[in-house]
Each structure stands twice: as C-alpha cells, then as structure tokens.
Structure 1
Amino acid sequence: MSTLEKVVKEYQVISEVLQTKIDNKEAVIGVVGLGYVGLPLAVEKAKEGYQVVGFDIQQERVDMVNEGKNYIGDVVDADLEGIVEDEMIVATTDYQKIEEVDIVAICVPTPLDQYHQPNTEYVETSTEDIAKYLHRGMLVILESTTYPGTTEEIVMPILEETGLKCGEDFFLAFSPERVDPGNKVYKTKNTPKVVGGMTPKCTELAAALYENVLDSDVHTVSSPAVAEMEKILENTFRNINIALANEMAILCDKMGIDVWEVIEAAKTKPYGFMAFYPGPGLGGHCIPIDPFYLTWKAREHDYHTRLIELAGEINNSMPNFVVDRLMKLLNKSKKALNGAKVLLLGVAYKKNIDDLRMSPSLKLIDELEEGGAELIYNDPYIPEFEHQGVNYNSQEVTSELLEDVDAVLIATAHSDYDYQEIVDKAQIVFDTRNGTAGIKAENLYRL
C-alpha cells in the first residue's frame, strides 16, 4: 500500500469513527464561551444526549453552570438544572480538558476596536487554547460572527501549526450563530442552521451534529467563507432597512406625519415589503457591529461599501436626533434641557431582556448628561449598571416620580410598563419605540 493510500485509509477511518460517535450520541462536545450563544447551544446538545464540557475564562459563569444556576434569558432554568443533575454538562476554566472532547464549538465575542475594525483576539486566543490539545479526528466549529475568510485565514493556520492537517487529521467548519434574545418563537432549538466546512467531509460531519441536536433544517454551503458572508448579509440587511426606517422617521417628523401609522399601512401589502421600525439607535452585539466587518474586509479588495456605511451613519446619529427633539419639546414648555429632570425608561437594547450590550440608551445617557439634564432611569430587567466609570441604579416608576420629572423618554418599550399611567401622569412623554401605540394625548410625542 502506497503512502497516499495509507493516508486516505486513515482519513476514512477517523472520519467514520467520528460519524459513528455523532450518530450514536457518543461524541463528547466542548463549547468554548458560555455566553448568549454558547450556553444555549451547550444546553441543547446536552438535552439531546451528548456529554458536554463548557469552557469559559469567567469563574463565576463556570460555577453557576455547575450549580445549575441559569444566567441567560433564552435558557430554561429547568433545562439547565436537569442536565446538571443528570451530569450531562460540566463547566470548567481548564482548557486541558479539550483533550477529552471529540467536537469543540467556538462561541466567543467578536467586537470592534476603537477604529471600527474587527477584533479577533478572542477567536485567536480560543483557537490557540484548542490547538494545544488538538488531536486527530477532532471537529472544530467556529460559531462567532466574523468577516469572510476568518476560518480559513486565522483559525485553520493556528490549528495546523500543531503539524496536523485540516481535512486529513482534523475537521473544521463555520456555522454562524443565529440568536435573537427575547424572541418567543425562534430559539436555538428551532432556528435553521447554515454550515460550511473546509472540505465536504468537514461540512458533512458538522451538519450531522446539528441535525441530531436541532429541530430545524440544516443548510450546507460550499465553504466557510460562504457561511461567514451569509451571516454578515443577514445583519447588514437589517442594519440598512432599520436605517431606512429611521430616515423615514426623521422626514415624517419634519412633515408632521406619524411614521408608525405609515409603516402599519405599508405592512398591508402582501408582497415586496417587510416592516422594519425606527428607534433611538441600534443595540446588541450583532447589527451595530457586523456590517463594519464587511466594510473592513471590502477595503482589502479595493471596494468601498457606500450604502452600508451610510446606513451606519444614519443609525449612529439617532441618539443625537432623539435628544435634539426632546430638547425642542422641552422648549415648547419653556424649559431647557440643562437642568431638566428626565426619566429614561429602558436601558436594555431591546424589550423584555436584560442585555445592555451596545444599547443606544448608553448614548442617550451621554447626550442627556452632556446637555446638563438630571438623569433618572428605570429598567425592570437591569436594576443597576456601570457606564463611563459611573454607577447607575434603577428608580421605581411611581406616580410621584412621573409627576415630578420634566419629561419621560421611552427608549425601550418593555411590556412591564403601564403606558397609560405614564402618559396620564407625566408632563411630556417622548416615545421612541411606539410602546404607547393606541394612546392619544397632547403631552405624548412619538418618534
């Protein structure tokens, strides 16, 4: 038997062994990063009968998982408690335990740096930790949203520095996370998955795993780059359409037209229109960030993504527009923003969740305080937080507080709020999220 034939035969053996382990749910699965993406994924895999090892650098998270204490809204408390009691999941900060896993998913943050350029530090560090204990027959799946080419240009070279070859000794794929915190319909379990591997076998093995875990379709593509690009397209699509809705809101304000009524009317068309809504800015870890990954990568190919960057400018300008309009509303009542008591309702980036990441409310706070306003905030999901070195504490929304403040600014339309009482008691209510839909009053203004 020739050397090439031996390599091919060994490759067939290790791929068949992993396939069998996946099919029989004997594969041990590692999940690196136990945050909004990693923990729900780890829980679903453990619920389906796979032994799961969760890795995180935060000891507090590791301890909470091992105690069955949930800290992610999209995870059902009883599910986590159950798999911990059944010893189907264990969390650790010891990355040496990667030696014990057959498959490892990387679910770490991919933020932007101060220049709006991709910061792949967490992906690189996680890959380096995996590389130390990489073994033949292992499948590595990157789930972190990133620019097209990351899997091939960053992850694969680090893993191959071990001397093992992708597609021969180990398998590598990209499958973008699709997490929408607070979504009552689509969770990790029932959201379709996209998978693109470095080789057809890499794709096949990764797809087999997700097919065994999820109650949804698994769509395979020809390469990790395609899967990386489609994820960027998803969020860029939302970014641009939200920018359009925001620009319409600005124009409608100038023309004295209710933008929310306009959108509801447009929604009646059964084709060719998809409703997106304006707001005080973009928040979360995806939509405000991911399009900039693409604009950065486009420059490498001597292309300027004008539409994407313009959409970013519009969305980033919304906090300024909101505060400027609030100032004009106060002026109508012969009050200045400087010295005005402003109650900010909601600091989470979307309704009914406790996620503060990239929240536009943080920019609103900056703008309001720079303008001299006395800021008070309430958020039933975020009782306290730290921003720019300052600690903020949520204040209870009482009749006395509503009557005392000069204006109420609704930045997040949590379902917990009694909007009728807010409008009845407050002097000025500026609603940027249409939480007060259906209410009419002279002191109520909407974006």
Structure 2
Amino acid sequence: MPADLAVIGLGHLGLPLAQAAVTAGIDTVGYDPDPRPYAELRAGRSPVEGSLTASEVRRMLSGGFRPTTDAAELGRVRTAVICSPTPLGPDRTVDLTALGDAARALASRLRPHTTVLLESAVPPGTTETFLRPLLEEGSGLVAGRDFHLACSPGRLDPGNRTRTLANTPKVIGGLTPACTESAAAVYGRLTDKVVRARGPREAEMTKVLETNFRHVNIALVNEMAVLCHDLGVDFWDVIRCAETKPFGFQPFRPGPGVGGHGVPVDPSGPPHGGHSSGHPLRMVSLAQEINDRMPRYVIQRCATLLNEHGKSVRGARVLLLGVTYKPDTADQEAAPAREIATRLMDMGAQIGYHDPHVLDWRVRERPVPRADSLYEAAAAADLTVLLQQHRTYDLQGLAVKAQLLLDTRGATPAGAAHRL
C-alpha cells in the first residue's frame, strides 16, 4: 500500500518523527531492518526507552502508522527520512554502518521525484560524499535532478514534553535550492518554523555546533566544580549568582558525567575516507576528556566520604539513585551510572539502586538489586549517591533518612547533603 512518508530507523529520532507525521494526518510507514522494533510496536509498546508511551504507540497504530521490516515498502513513498543510528565507534569516529545499510535499502527502490531527507547526526560532508553516491549508484538516478536530497538533523530533546517537533525550528540544507524547498514543504506540515541553511554541510555542521556547545560548557562547569570543592567554595551558589546576569551568560550545571544521544564530534577528521581538514577541535577533545573523568571523580568522592566516616569502600552498601541520563525519563543512553556502579563493584562495594522509571537494571549483564522502599534502603545504606534528580524524589526527606548522602546534581537543599 503506497504511503506519503517512510521513516527509516525507528529509534529515538524516527519514532517521534513518525508520531508527528501521523498526528498531522500523513500516511506513514516505519521501516527498520531490526525485527525487534517491529514486534514491540505491533504489540503496542515503544521499542525505545524514554520515548513514546504505550498509549501514544496505540494512537499511532490506530491513526494508520504501519511499522515494517519489508524494504519493498520504501519503493511506494513520496518522501523518505533516514533516521538511522550513527554512534561513535571504538576510535571515537562516527560509525556510518547503519546509515549505509539504510541508503542501500532505499536506493534499490528509489523512484524519480522522491524526496530523501537525512536526520541522523553525521559529520559535515556526509550527505554529499557518503549518502549521495550510495543513492545514485543503487538507483541509477541523479540527486538534485531526478530526486531531491537534503539534510535536516534531528533536534528533539528526549522526554521533553514542552519542546516537541512542532515547536522546535527545523534546519534544512538541500543539495540544490529546489531540494531545500521540497524538504521545507515536507517539514512545513510538521513544525511551526523552517530555517533554510545554505546547503547540506551547513545543516550538518549546525548539529555539530549545538552538540559540542553543550559538551564544552558542561566540561567547564565540571572542571570548576572540582576546583571549587578543593577551595571550599560552594559552586552551586556561584551558579545561582551568575545566572542572574541578564546577558552574556547561560547556566550549565555539573554532574557525574555526560550522557544522551548527542555525542561530541570533531569533524576535522575524515569520516568515511575523505580528507582531513587538518584543524582538529582541541577544545572538544579536551571537553570530552574532562567529562569522561567525572565518573572517576564521583568514585573518589565516595571513597573519601566513606573513609571520613570510618568505613571502607570494600564491603560498603552503596545505593545509587537515578540511573538514567536525564531526569524524569527511562532513557539510559550513555548514562554515567553504569560506569560508576562498575567501578564501585570492582572496589568491593555492595551496589543497590532505585529509579522510578527503570524497573530492571543490569551491570555487566548481572541484575542490580532494586530498592522497593527508598527511605528504608537509604537508611540501611552506608552511602547513598544521587545521580539523577527525578521529580518524584523528596530530597529533603531523603537527606534526613540517609546515613550519608552525596548529591552529584546539586539538587538537595544547601547543607542537607555533601554536594559535588
């Protein structure tokens, strides 16, 4: 059955896009070669933690959304949006394997006049020098002449119910002006505002800038938090004061590490066999190094606190609160909690956890005991570590019950706990 839109890749980018399209009345098919998302969606469940609720999935299905593992569906659409995952590989370069597989699956079925859009986070140049050749070679068509090609990197904030696709401006960069306008026509049905970039590289670099901006600024406050602790300065009070400045300052807050789907990228290197620019982003590399150190710093603070209270990490009962990468969501993507738990276990600690959004949590493939009663578990633990400040946590009450509380988010009242 023909559809107006195919969303390729039903992950944290593709699912919300498909939901927005169905809500806008667009006949939408969702393709993913992995059978698991298909099975979960057909059963009325979201295959992505912290993404759509079961009721939202059911509304999508009743609205006509069709998940599939059959690539033949891609040959029956007017628009195809590629939302394939592009994680960092072991060498910290972007892995384009899934994007390449999606491009080849689409290329063999690509029809003239189709609009192809790329939402995956990629290094600048990927649309033109990686995606375009795969589509042209597999289809025999020419981008910009026989079909439209544009990049519009995903901008959604998982779990944010205020900022949705509809009220978040979409940046679009087409291979040609006609490609840009074709993409703008598609996204104009989904969002209130479309921002036209000069071309695909500018659109791709926009995502790189936005992501690196976050990581660099978090690295700055993480480093300052460590310094201020050593100097006996309340850095949380410093931030409170600094954010009153009405210009030239945007508050960021330190934490136990940086998680999420937006990974810092140095686009100076060759992402897929191209040429290096020869100008590496040293600040991005340093920011990553600083942020990667934070879980180890948390462990250091844990050990020091226990030692100051006459206890050793070995044999200590440690309760971790909040194992997701952001508050009030079940999404655990790259959350620092797993590394912190692993290091504590290696030091001989007995680990337990509590998270209202995560009912089963595993470290090294082994289940971690989940606390049923938060206050009782905090009272029994030698050390309680707040890693994520979910809205449901009564931090004032928790500070009273816990034997020893380390707050890595600065969420507890001043003086109620040891803060990062």
TM-score w.r.t. the length of structure 1 is 0.89
Closer/same/farther in 2, CA of residues 393 and 124 from structure 1, 3 Å limit: farther
**Could you tell me how far apart the structure 2 residues matched to 1:169 and 1:280 are?**
50
2:71 maps to 1:105: no
- Give the drift of 1:135: 1.0
**Could you tell me how far apart the structure 2 residues matched to 1:137 and 1:27 are?**
14
- Find 2:165's aligned residue among 181, 188, 194: 188
**Could you tell me how far apart the structure 2 residues matched to 1:363 and 1:180 are?**
23
Deviates more, 1:256-265 or 1:413-422: 413-422
**Could you tell me how far apart the structure 1 residues matched to 2:365 and 2:352 are?**
17
- Find 1:284's aligned residue among 237, 255, 260: 260
Identity %: 38
Q: What secondary structure, in the 3-state scheme, does the structure 2 residue paired with 1:329 have?
A: helix
2:406 maps to 1:446: no
Q: Which amino acid aligns with 1:128?
A: R
Equivalent residue runs for 1:87-126 within 5 Å: 87=64, 89-126=65-102
Partner of 1:386: 362
Q: Which amino acid aligns with 2:398?
A: I
- Give the drift of 1:58: 3.1
**Could you tell me how far apart the structure 1 residues matched to 2:234 and 2:188 are?**
46
Closer/same/farther in 2, CA of residues 429 and 265 from structure 1, 3 Å limit: same
- Find 2:204's aligned residue among 209, 221, 228: 228
2:27 maps to 1:51: yes
Q: Which amino acid aligns with 1:251?
A: L
- Give the drift of 1:291: 2.2
- Give the drift of 1:171: 1.0
RMSD after superposition: 1.9
- Give the drift of 1:71: 5.1
Partner of 2:58: 81
Equivalent pair of 2:259/2:333 in contact (CA under 8 Å): yes
2:402 maps to 1:429: no
**Could you tell me how far apart the structure 1 residues matched to 2:114 and 2:395 are?**
54
* Cα deviations by residue, 1:282-336 (Å, 9 ceiling, x for unpaired): 00111xx232455666981112321111111111100111110111111110111
* Cα deviations by residue, 1:43-74 (Å, 9 ceiling, x for unpaired): 11111121101011233322343454445545
**Could you tell me how far apart the structure 2 residues matched to 1:363 and 1:293 are?**
27
Unaligned ranges ≥5, structure 2? none
Equivalent residue runs for 1:296-315 within 5 Å: 300-315=276-291
Runs of 4+ residues over 6 Å off in structure 1? none
Partner of 2:153: 176
Q: What secondary structure, in the 3-state scheme, does the structure 2 residue paired with 1:280 have?
A: coil
Q: Which amino acid aligns with 1:316?
A: D
- Give the drift of 1:80: 3.9
Q: Which amino acid aligns with 2:296?
A: N
Partner of 1:3: none
- Find 1:62's aligned residue among 26, 38, 45: 38
**Could you tell me how far apart the structure 2 residues matched to 1:134 and 1:290 are?**
33
- Find 1:348's aligned residue among 320, 324, 332: 324
* Cα deviations by residue, 1:113-132 (Å, 9 ceiling, x for unpaired): 11112110010010011011
- Find 2:142's aligned residue among 161, 165, 169: 165
**Could you tell me how far apart the structure 2 residues matched to 1:333 and 1:79 are?**
48
- Give the drift of 1:147: 0.3
Equivalent residue runs for 1:322-401 within 5 Å: 322-401=298-377
Q: Which amino acid aligns with 2:136?
A: E
Partner of 1:40: 16
Closer/same/farther in 2, CA of residues 236 and 398 from structure 1, 3 Å limit: closer
TM-score w.r.t. the length of structure 2 is 0.94
Looking at CA atoms only, which structure, 1 or 2, has the larger radius of gyration?
A: 1
Q: What secondary structure, in the 3-state scheme, does the structure 2 residue paired with 1:344 have?
A: strand
Which structure features the higher share of helix residues?
Answer: 1
**Could you tell me how far apart the structure 2 residues matched to 1:355 and 1:308 are?**
24
- Find 1:212's aligned residue among 179, 183, 189: 189
Unaligned ranges ≥5, structure 1? 1-25
Closer/same/farther in 2, CA of residues 293 and 390 from structure 1, 3 Å limit: farther
**Could you tell me how far apart the structure 2 residues matched to 1:338 and 1:70 are?**
39
**Could you tell me how far apart the structure 2 residues matched to 1:395 and 1:290 are?**
34
Partner of 1:8: none
Equivalent pair of 2:36/2:47 in contact (CA under 8 Å): no
2:390 maps to 1:414: yes
Equivalent pair of 1:107/1:142 in contact (CA under 8 Å): yes
Equivalent pair of 1:140/1:172 in contact (CA under 8 Å): yes
**Could you tell me how far apart the structure 2 residues matched to 1:160 and 1:296 are?**
22
- Give the drift of 1:190: 1.2
Equivalent pair of 1:65/1:90 in contact (CA under 8 Å): no
